[in-house]
């Protein structure tokens, strides 16, 4: 039986049985932003648009952003599951939460809109544990994970219930993770939006590794509040992860400015004062020996990363000035299937398709869904119809509408079985099924629907054994303990 016919028959059978992402292969920047403000009994007075402003800044740094506002516990868990299932070993993942949170018995809990505040026990059972979020994201083995808790506020629960501590508790983090808080452990933060403003400024600092980025935020907020608010972070990241690349080295510009560096933390005294003084005296130097001298004297100093970066930049400049650049030999690259499809479309189709893609790239997935639906309806025989159907499904997937996304991915596979995106569609179909099958309160898959999820991943492995998506499909089958056949 031909693969396309086999795919169609299997999908029809699965749909009749009601067994109802950017994926695991390419490098990926993905962020989930949750903003809980409209609490029924105590709405937050945080400045409107903080989360949206952060989302816009993240998109400018190349992140695909999933923005969710005012969620219940089940909505938070479903959204987190969908976010987690889209991560892969090459992902840089950011989770940001703004809203109420509390500390109970040394644990931190995020407060959904439908929390039961009648007792401490009811809060524990209806809130979302911050530790569970970090542990769950760690199972994805993503390259780097950043969790930001902008939730160190005094809320009604602290006043209503006894035994609830002020602020949030310090946390241990799993590997390859950085957790950041808008205030120090046991302290609170105001709703001025200052933390987000300084965070966005730091994110845009070229070449600044994540731990140093949050040191910059801490220094800025502490200075602005006269030490009343001091953000805090803990990291287990290895290697250097930056959100904004350092500027390129220009060989003939000997006066190029060094990368922007964070100010030193305030109130430095004692033994550290000598190190700070040395750093301030060399930080703008053009002599590599100055930075090498600092590294020799302070191998574990507070400016080690910046000293190494400056040393590397100066060494690269020296090498470029003496080396004769070699021009690479042009290599012919045949057009990809997507480029061929685009070239074959007429001007009107390209204009409509480009408009829909622009909406999705700029984060307006709702309008993108409408635009792609119209395109598929108007141009069913267009060379771009298969890709438009895929992006229609994607516009639903990124918004957490997994039931509609599963149907759209299934329709694309059935209607366009020769589309090169079929393996990716199959993987996202399986991931959507997986989220929808997680129905019980413990978060485990409903056993009656697990078979359908396993079969979708098995189909991808069997029909497209050389596709990069197969790596994730096999990992999911192992994680779900799917049968061998």
Whether the CB-CB separation of 475 and 442 falls below 8 Å is answered with no
Task: Say what angle helices 130-138 and 73-85 make with each other, to 10 degrees.
Answer: 20
In this predicted model, what pLDDT tens digit does every residue of 177-192 receive, in sequence order? 999 999 888 888 877 7
Whether the CB-CB separation of 52 and 37 falls below 8 Å is answered with no
What is the mean predicted confidence (pLDDT) over 148-173?
80
| Residue 5 reports pLDDT greater than 80 | no
Which one is predicted more confidently, 330 or 221? 221
Query: In DSSP terms, which residues pair with 346 in a beta bridge?
Result: none
- Please give the Cα distance from 450 to 162 (Å, whole number): 43
383 vs 13, 234, 370, CA distance in Å? 28, 50, 19
In this predicted model, what pLDDT tens digit does every residue of 268-283 receive, in sequence order? 444 556 677 777 778 7
Amino acid 24: pLDDT:
35
Amino acid 330: pLDDT:
53
Whether the CB-CB separation of 164 and 104 falls below 8 Å is answered with yes
Say if strands 107-110 and 128-129 run parallel, antiparallel, or are unpaired: antiparallel
Amino acid 409: pLDDT:
93
- Please give the Cα distance from 183 to 274 (Å, whole number): 29
What is the mean predicted confidence (pLDDT) over 120-134?
91
In this predicted model, what pLDDT tens digit does every residue of 397-433 receive, in sequence order? 877 788 889 999 999 999 999 999 999 999 999 888 8
Which one is predicted more confidently, 481 or 337? 481
Amino acid 22: pLDDT:
36
Q: Which burial class, exposed, middle or buried, applies to 389 when counting CB atoms under 10 A from its CB (0-12, 13-18, 19+)?
A: buried
Whether the CB-CB separation of 153 and 111 falls below 8 Å is answered with no
Confidence of residue 224 (pLDDT cuts 50, 70, 90): confident
Nearest-CA neighbor of 367 among 379, 356, 354?
356
Question: What are the φ/ψ torsions at residue 424 (nearest 5 degrees)?
Answer: -65, -40
Domains and CATH numbers, the chain: 28-235 (3.40.50.1460)
Whether the CB-CB separation of 24 and 469 falls below 8 Å is answered with yes
- pTM, 2 dp: 0.51
What is the mean predicted confidence (pLDDT) over 58-87?
90
Amino acid 485: pLDDT:
66
Amino acid 326: pLDDT:
52
Say if strands 28-35 and 91-98 run parallel, antiparallel, or are unpaired: parallel
| Residue 73 reports pLDDT greater than 80 | yes
Confidence of residue 327 (pLDDT cuts 50, 70, 90): low
Amino acid 447: pLDDT:
72
Confidence of residue 241 (pLDDT cuts 50, 70, 90): confident
- Please give the Cα distance from 421 to 337 (Å, whole number): 10
Confidence of residue 319 (pLDDT cuts 50, 70, 90): low
Question: What are the φ/ψ torsions at residue 439 (nearest 5 degrees)?
Answer: -105, -30
Which one is predicted more confidently, 344 or 126? 126
Which one is predicted more confidently, 302 or 105? 105
């Amino acid at each position: 039986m031909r693969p396309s016919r086999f795919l169609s028959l299997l999908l029809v059978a699965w749909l009749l049985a009601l067994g109802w992402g950017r994926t695991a292969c390419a490098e990926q920047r993905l962020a989930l932003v949750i903003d809980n403000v409209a609490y029924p009994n105590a709405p937050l007075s945080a400045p409107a648009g903080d989360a949206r402003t952060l989302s816009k800044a993240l998109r400018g740094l190349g992140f695909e952003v999933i923005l969710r506002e005012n969620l219940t516990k089940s909505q938070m868990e479903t959204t987190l599951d969908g976010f987690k299932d889209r991560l892969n070993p090459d992902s840089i993942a950011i989770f940001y939460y703004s809203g109420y949170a509390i500390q109970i018995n040394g644990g931190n809990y995020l407060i959904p809109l439908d929390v039961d505040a009648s007792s401490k026990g009811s809060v524990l059972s209806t809130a979302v544990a911050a530790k569970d979020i970090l542990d769950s994201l760690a199972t994805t083995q993503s390259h780097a994970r950043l969790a930001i808790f902008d939730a160190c506020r005094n809320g009604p629960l602290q006043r209503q219930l006894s035994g609830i501590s002020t602020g949030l508790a310090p946390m241990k983090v799993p590997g390859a993770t950085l957790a950041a808080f808008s205030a120090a452990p046991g302290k609170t933060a105001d709703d001025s939006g200052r933390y987000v403003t300084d965070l966005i400024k730091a994110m845009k600092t070229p070449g600044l590794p994540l731990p140093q980025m949050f040191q910059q935020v801490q220094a800025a907020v502490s200075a602005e509040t006269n030490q009343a608010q001091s953000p805090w972070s803990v990291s287990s990241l290895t290697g250097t992860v930056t959100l904004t690349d350092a500027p390129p080295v220009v060989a003939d510009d000997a006066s190029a400015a060094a990368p922007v560096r964070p100010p030193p933390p305030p109130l430095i005294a004692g033994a550290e004062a000598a190190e700070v003084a040395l750093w301030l005296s060399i930080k703008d130097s053009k002599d590599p020996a100055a930075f090498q001298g600092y590294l020799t004297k302070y191998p574990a100093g507070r400016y080690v990363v910046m000293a190494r970066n400056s040393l590397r930049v100066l060494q690269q400049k020296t090498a470029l000035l003496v080396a004769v650049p070699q021009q690479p030999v042009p290599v012919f690259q045949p057009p990809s299937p997507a480029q061929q499809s685009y070239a074959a479309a007429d001007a009107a189709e390209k204009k409509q398709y480009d408009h829909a893609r622009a909406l999705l790239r700029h984060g307006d997935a709702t309008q993108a869904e409408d635009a792609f639906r119209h395109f598929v309806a108007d141009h069913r025989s267009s060379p771009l119809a298969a890709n438009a159907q895929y992006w229609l499904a994607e516009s639903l997937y990124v918004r957490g509408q997994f039931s509609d996304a599963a149907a759209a991915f299934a329709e694309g596979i059935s209607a366009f079985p020769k589309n090169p995106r079929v393996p990716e569609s199959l993987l996202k179909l399986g991931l959507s099924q997986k989220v929808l099958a997680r129905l019980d309160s413990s978060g485990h898959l409903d056993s009656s629907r697990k078979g359908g999820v396993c079969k979708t991943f098995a189909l991808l492995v069997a029909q497209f054994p050389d596709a990069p998506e197969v790596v994730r499909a096999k990992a999911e089958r192992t994680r779900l303990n799917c049968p061998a056949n």
